[in-house]
Amino acid sequence: MTARLIYGTGAYEKAIELAKSISNLVYEFGGEKLSTDDAKSATQKMIFAPIGTDVFCVVIGAVDNARANATDALLKSIEEHPDFVVPILWANGLDGVPPTIRSRCSSEWTNEEQGGEIDPKCVRLVNAALVSNHTETLQVGLSIITDSSTRDMLRGFANALSEKSFDNPKVALLWLRVREALKQNYTMSKTEALGVICI
């Protein structure tokens, strides 16, 4: 089975949930930062199957908060792992994951805080932002903020943006900007929040 990469809000929890749905035997390596030693330990664990187990999972992360030595240590093992192990990597965001890791995994975006269907207003907002239609971006963005909050607008924007191809440089740039904005612990003003999505 191809290695999996889960990224976004709640990625760790989603990775554990996926691992437990595949096997009762789950090994975890790393945390908010993945060290080189963690990566080497995960690689070693993938070599031999525990006795009496058909398949097991190795959960590794956060790969976006790892030094190059750590991610390099994983490359061969996640590409050429035995059939009895399923490597599941997780990251807070895709922008910090090296392309060498992304190319070896099946990627899945998650946002546990943003449930339900994508708001059509947010889809319209993303489309306006991607073509740099600042007038529509400001109008739709203000409308969403008025009905909810700046944080909810940015979360909805991220949810809608996740449906776009990250091969588009504008999508990747907006994803990075929104992710950084959502890390802030203070309430952003309307101007600040709208400035994040106007490129």
pLDDT at 65: 87
19 pLDDT above the threshold of 90? yes
Quick check: 107 and 76 in contact, CB under 8 A? no
Q: Which residue, among 80, 42, 85, 35, has the nearest Cα to 62 in the 3D structure?
A: 35
Sign of CA dihedral 111, 117, 118, 121: negative
71 pLDDT above the threshold of 70? yes
Tokens of 124: 């319209």
- What CATH topology corresponds to 3-111? Rossmann fold (3.40.50)
More confident residue, 148 or 170: 170
> How large is the average pLDDT for residues 28-55?
91
More confident residue, 26 or 188: 26
> How large is the average pLDDT for residues 87-106?
91
Domain ranges of the chain: 3-111, 120-197
pLDDT at 135: 96
What is the pTM assigned to this prediction? 0.59
CB burial of residue 61 (10 Å; 0-12, 13-18, 19+)? buried
